[in-house]
Amino acid sequence: MIKRSLLLSLSALSFLPVSLMAEAGRNVVDISNLVRFEYDDNIFNTGPELNTNVLDSYKITEQIELLFDTESGPTSFGFLYSPAFTYYTDRPDDDTDVSHLFDLSAGYVGPNGFSIRVKDTFRRAEEPELVADDVQFRRNNDFIYNSLNTTIGAVLVPEKVDFLIDGRYAITRYDEDLVGDASDYDQLSGGIELVYTLGPDKQVSGQVNYTTLDYENGFRDSESVQAGLSYVQQVTPTSRIDLRAGYETRDLDDAVEQESDSPYFDASIVTNPAANAVLTLGAAYSLDKSPVNNFAQQERVRFYATGNYSFTPALDLALSGSFSEGTFDESDATSVFDPTVDEAGEETVIQVSASLTFKVNIRNSIVATYQFTELESDVRPESDYDRNRYSIGWQYDL
């Protein structure tokens, strides 16, 4: 009863700042509130290999989103903060989750084309599911994730040649020491890019990037260097292609073969098949970090698609799907790989989602969603699972 009262209180309080900001009339502030009712048929991502019952549950989620964005002359500043409270009707031990999402960005565009942009992404979650960049954390522990990105740009030749320097520092920290010893990591990346504008509808660029991964236990530590080219062109008034390809070398501290190299590519096309529709199709291949300590890396191929269609100004449909397959080779096995019990092989992940939004009026919307996830793995068969989630929510926007 206390938790239900808390949920209702949060819902009521979330509308107070909305009314206050509406009176202030500041367009740089956007506040929204979402109340979502969901059915989840596999809350712990349990598979048949564990020989345990798959647990399902209904959920009630209260989520507030506060967005602030402003520009003043050459400077810009913005932040997004979104806390969420979830109550489970049938989850043992702990029937509530609280998560926090915080994004902060600042930018400056100076004379002669000099610019700097800083963005920080922070996540605090319980029993996390998906963070970013397809990095999935499942059933491990409560955790903190933070990513700090900085980009410095300079115009070398007006409307022709730009130079960019990019840096990123990301960390993941789990609450429990036992989980953190296996999964905590620091990632530091830096790179340079030279962009040449060939015309009003096409650009070509060259990049060099360096990345280091440092895990708490050291099994998956690595250093990598990528060098490649990118090409972007508006091929028709309704279609754009984006191509990126290059070569990567890696030093793997604890792998059987400590040096690895491979080409990489990412190709996508964005098209408007109709005035009220947008479709994106893409494919990518690269070396990627491993989700398990037994292997220092994986070779990963991914196919993805997204689509958006507006039936009417008030009714929108959004679809997305991806299929990825990672290959784990014994040459990338670490010192904890035991050939008597562990296996090399493939791991596939399928993700599908659909969302239908009906805008009742300028402030109120009804959102219905469906999400499906499936994992099949040779390297961690005890983690195989599939999951379906159905939800309907009411969103109020300022």
Sketch out the chain's domains with CATH numbers.
Answer: 64-354+369-381 (2.40.160)
Cβ within 8 Å of residue 12, ≥6 positions away = none
pLDDT recorded at residue 189: 98
Residue 77 has pLDDT above 60, yes or no: yes
Residue 22 predicted with pLDDT over 70: no
**Residue of 163, 235, 217, 214 lying closest to 192 (CA atoms):** 163
Select from 76, 132, 125 the least CA-distant residue to 104. 76
The whole-number pLDDT of residue 322 equals 95
Tell me how far apart the alpha carbons of residues 215 and 222 are, in angstroms, rounded to a whole number: 9
More confident residue, 68 or 13: 68
| Mean pLDDT to the nearest integer, 175-204 | 93
Q: Does 1 have pLDDT greater than 80?
A: no
Q: Is 45 left (phi over 0), alpha (psi -120 to 50) or beta?
A: left
pLDDT level of residue 32 (50, 70, 90 thresholds): very high
**Contact between 286 and 261 (Cβ < 8 Å):** no
The Cα–Cα gap between 245 and 241 comes to 13
Residue 129 has pLDDT above 90, yes or no: no
**Residues whose CB falls within 8 Å of the CB of residue 233, separated by 6 or more in sequence, listed in order:** 201, 202, 203, 240, 241
- Name which of 238, 243, 227 is nearest 277 in CA terms: 238
Q: What local confidence, expressed as pLDDT, does residue 18 receive?
A: 37
Distance CA 206, CA 183 (A): 33
Q: Is the pLDDT of residue 52 over 80?
A: no
What's the predicted TM-score (pTM) here? 0.87
DSSP of 147-183: EEEEEEEEEEETTTEEEEEEEEEEEEEESSHHHHHHH
Is the CB of residue 294 less than 8 Å from the CB of residue 342?
Answer: yes
Greater model confidence, 212 or 135: 212
